[in-house]
Chain A
Amino acid sequence: MKPELFFKFVSISFQKQVTYRFDCFVGIVNGFLYVFIFTSLWKALYSQFDTTVHNGFTLTAIVTYAVLVMAVRISFTMDDSIIYRKVMDGSIAMELVRPTSFFFMNLAENVGHSLFHTMARTFPIVIISLFLFDISIPFEPVRLLAFLFSFFAGYILISMLNFAAGLLAFWFVEIFPFMLFKYALFTFFSGGIVPIDFFPEFLKPVVNFLPFQYMLYFPTVILTGRVPLAEVHSIIISQLMWILIMGVICSLMWGAGKKKLVIQGG
């Protein structure tokens, strides 16, 4: 897909979000509430113990993590039922008769969505949090660059996950249960609630076998400084590998799903 076209789709999707401004205001409050609950929980938990470092996290480090992981997560907001709705109302037909890649078109729509949430929700929440909480982010330009890279890799991974999950609509009339399951898996195994370091030993092999930690946890800990700069490149290589694997899964599913797709009416 030509970049010009990609950004046109991004812009259309962005503008559509602008029309839902009220939802967005609710979203800011909601996101901030989450940040407040999680940081309060960590503070309460840490005050119960004499030791000040748990699983390598000081209180400042864990509060920083809680704020930033939520910030990244809000930036990654996308509508994971887009494909489902397009299949249900049949509008997918009109997209298939255009010489454009369905995957990239979907990615562009996600980007527009996420871009809006980043500007309207992530930024205000981060700025308010900087004043309210004890947050420490190492300021190293290389690290910031690495974070951006890892952030985009994580974004592409989530977009692929949602794409693959959305394609299930080609097979099943109802995909809500799958989406719920995906949401639960993602929220937990991505480190969205608790950093991976706090997981019990028996879960660690499972975590390493799944792509979720490369979506939120690693981009976040690169930014917070928990990962030494020397290890950053191996994380990014793993992310790229997962992008490759997810890419293969998506294209296999797309190939098989095309044959299953039926479009009701007209």
Chain B
Amino acid sequence: MQHDNIAIEVTDLRKEFKVSLSGKGFLGKLQALFHRSNKVITAVNDIDFKIRRGEFVGYVGENGAGKSTTIKMLTGILVPTSGTAAVNGIVPYKDRKKNAAKIGVVFGQRTQLWWDLPVRESFDLLRVIFRVSRSDFDRQMEKLEKALGLRPLLEMPVRKLSLGQRMRCDIAAALIHNPPVLFLDEPTIGLDVLAKQSVRNFLSEINRTVGTTIILTTHDMNDIEQLCKRLIILEEGKIMFDGETELLKQKFIHEKVIEVEFYENDCVMQEISGVTVVREQGCKKWLTFDKDNFGIGDVIGTIASQYKIKDISVKEPSVESIIRNIYDNRIKLSTPSNKSFTK
């Protein structure tokens, strides 16, 4: 069949939430009793995408963009308002249980595990739930224990785990049945740098060796740069970009970024026409400029003539800065200096 290599297919998918606006104070509440004013929020706004088997896709966007809502629909928790979705050829909100058997899910802010049980017992319960044979289970556990460093955690009750420890256990829990598709909604939240790296290595490995299709939601752009060949950027429920991460980089590669570090007493920089500050950190600033009207030398010259510079370098934009600019686009669309990003 033609669809055999499609893991996820989403067509015109939409989710609206009705939120009732209750007025302020006693009178407002009283009024709300009689006629409720409802507001409809479109969390996911008619999106389409296809994900092939074995892809590793970054699903990013600012808070409230609709990432979690999409994942909840694909995992069968929420029923879409309209449109369709299929995961492994199964419609998740119609065949919730059948779909659940073939996916793994991690929601960074929640846990799959049983609060009062030791980790090992939680895993064993999941083995029964997902109908994994003892031998498959033992084999998979051995792999997970080693890759995620679970051994010292197994006898601890889940409620005593730190956030990072719990997250590693949750990732293992999602993989006990070796699902062909894995959804990760902010799984690196609360992990320290070392733990993050070991989780990344592990995810990259199962994607490569087992061919697990992975959809990853994250705010950590290192996750994206290291793992996701493909990127879907969501904004206010709509897809802004869907393509290869490398392509995104190339598209914006000519957007050189100037990294300047000023001396303390020159920390406040006046606005320079055609130059945009994309990021600030103390006396360090990252600048982009309107390259149709200015050369890179002009910009550096202008800055150097007006301020005392401690350090300056020209960089290619990181995925983070590109995405940051895409996010900011809407707000800065009116300022001409930033026009190049709308291309």
> With A263-B72, A266-B68 in contact, do A96 and B116 touch (Cβ < 8 Å)?
no
* Chain B: minimal CB distance from A13 (Å): 11
Task: Assess whether A100 is in contact with B77, with CB atoms less than 8 Å apart.
Answer: no
Q: Note all chain B residues with C-beta closer than 8 A to A180.
A: none
> Are B76 and A96 in contact, with the CB atoms below 8 A?
yes
How near does chain B come to A250, taking the closest CB pair, in angstroms? 16
Per the bound structure, the CA–CA distance linking A16 and B103 in Å amounts to 29
Stretch in A86-94, A120-128, A150-158 with 4+ CB within 8 Å of B? A86-94
CB-based contact A97/B128 at 8 Å: no
Beyond A4-B128, A8-B125, A99-B130, whether A262 also contacts B109 by CB under 8 A is no
- The answer on a CB contact under 8 Å between A262 and B129 is no
Residues 50-109 of B contacting A (Cβ, < 8 Å): 68, 72, 75-79, 93, 96-98, 100-101, 103, 105, 107-109
Q: Known contacts being A94-B112, A266-B109, A266-B110, is A261 close to B78, with CB within 8 Å?
A: yes
Residue B263 is within 8 A (CB to CB) of chain A in the complex = no
Distance (whole angstroms) from the CB of B300 to the closest CB of chain A: 44
**Interface check A233, CB cutoff 8 A:** no
A101 touches B (CB below 8 Å):
yes
Name the contact of B77 in the complex, choosing from A2, A4, A93, A101 (C-beta under 8 A).
Answer: A93
Give B105-134 interface residues, CB cut-off 8 Å to A. 105, 107-112, 114, 116-117, 125-126, 128-131
**Assembly CA distance A96 to B110 (angstroms):** 13
- Decide yes or no whether A12 CB sits under 8 A from chain B: yes
Q: How far is the CA of A99 from the CA of B116 in the complex (A)?
A: 22
Decide: A96 and B77 in contact? CB cutoff 8 A. yes
The smallest C-beta distance from A205 to any residue of chain B, in angstroms, reads: 35
Is B186 located at the chain interface by the 8 A CB criterion? yes
Please determine whether A12 and B72 come into contact, CB atoms closer than 8 angstroms: no
B77/A263 in contact, CB under 8 A:
yes
Tell me if B129 and A93 are in contact (CB < 8 A): no
Would you give the shortest CB distance from B315 to chain A, in whole angstroms?
34
Q: Are B17 and A262 in contact (CB under 8 A)?
A: yes
- Contacts A2-B128, A4-B128, A8-B125; A97 near B105 (Cβ below 8 A): yes
Residues of A contacting B79 with CB < 8 Å?
Answer: 258-259, 261
Contacts A16-B116, A100-B129, A259-B79 given; indicate if A93 touches B100 (C-beta within 8 A).
no
> Which residue in B17, B103, B114, B117 is a CB contact (below 8 Å) of A97?
B103
CA distance in complex: A15, B116 (Å): 9
B185 within 8 A of A: yes
- Chain B residues near A99 (CB-CB < 8 A): 97-98, 100-101, 129-130
Residues of B with C-beta under 8 A to A259: 79
Residues of A within 8 A of B129 (CB): 5, 98-100
Contacts of A4 in B (CB 8 A): 128
Contact B109 A12 (CB under 8 A): no
Q: Does A138 contact B (CB under 8 A)?
A: no
| Min C-beta distance of B101 to chain A, whole Å | 4
Residues of A within 8 A of B186 (CB): 266
Nearest CB on A from B281, distance (A): 28
Q: Looking at the assembled complex, report how far the CB atom of A36 sits from the nearest CB atom of chain B, in whole angstroms.
A: 35
Contacts of B68 in A (CB 8 A): 266
Within 8 A of B (CB), among A1-45: 2, 4-5, 8, 12, 15-16, 19
Task: Kindly state the separation between the CA atoms of A67 and B186 in the bound complex, as whole angstroms.
Answer: 55
A265 contacts partner chain B, Cβ-Cβ < 8 Å: yes
Assess whether B97 is in contact with A100, with CB atoms less than 8 Å apart.
yes
- Find out whether the CB atom of B110 lies under 8 angstroms from the CB atom of A90: yes
Please, which residues of chain B bring their CB within 8 A of the CB of A96? 75-77, 96, 100
Name the residue in B96, B101, B111, B117 with the highest tally of chain A Cβ atoms < 10 Å from its Cβ: B96
Are the CB atoms of A91 and B78 closer together than 8 Å? no
Distance of A98 Cα from B17 Cα, bound (Å)? 24
Asked if B107 and A12 make an inter-chain contact with CB atoms under 8 angstroms apart, the answer reads: no
**Residue on A nearest B76 in the bound complex, by CB:** A96
A225-252: CB near B (< 8 Å → 1, else 0) gives 0000000000000000000000000000
Closest beta carbon of chain A to B93's beta carbon, Å:
7
Q: Which among B93, B112, B128 is the interface contact of A5 at CB below 8 angstroms?
A: B128
Closest CB in chain B relative to A19 CB, distance in Å: 8
| Per-residue contact bits, chain B 189-216, to A (CB 8 Å; 1 contact, 0 not) | 0000000000000000000000000000
Can you spell out 16 A-B residue pairs with CB atoms less than 8 angstroms apart?
A: A8-B125, A12-B114, A12-B116, A12-B117, A12-B125, A15-B116, A93-B72, A93-B77, A96-B77, A97-B75, A97-B100, A99-B98, A99-B100, A259-B79, A261-B79, A266-B107
9 A-B pairs closest in CB distance: A266-B109, A99-B101, A99-B100, A99-B97, A97-B105, A259-B79, A96-B77, A97-B75, A5-B128
* Apart from A98-B112, A99-B101, A261-B79: 14 A-B pairs, beta carbons within 8 A: A15-B116, A16-B116, A93-B107, A94-B112, A96-B76, A96-B77, A97-B100, A99-B98, A99-B129, A258-B79, A262-B78, A265-B109, A266-B108, A266-B186
- Residue numbers of B with Cβ under 8 A of A are 17, 68, 72, 75-79, 93, 96-98, 100-101, 103, 105, 107-112, 114, 116-117, 125-126, 128-131, 185-186
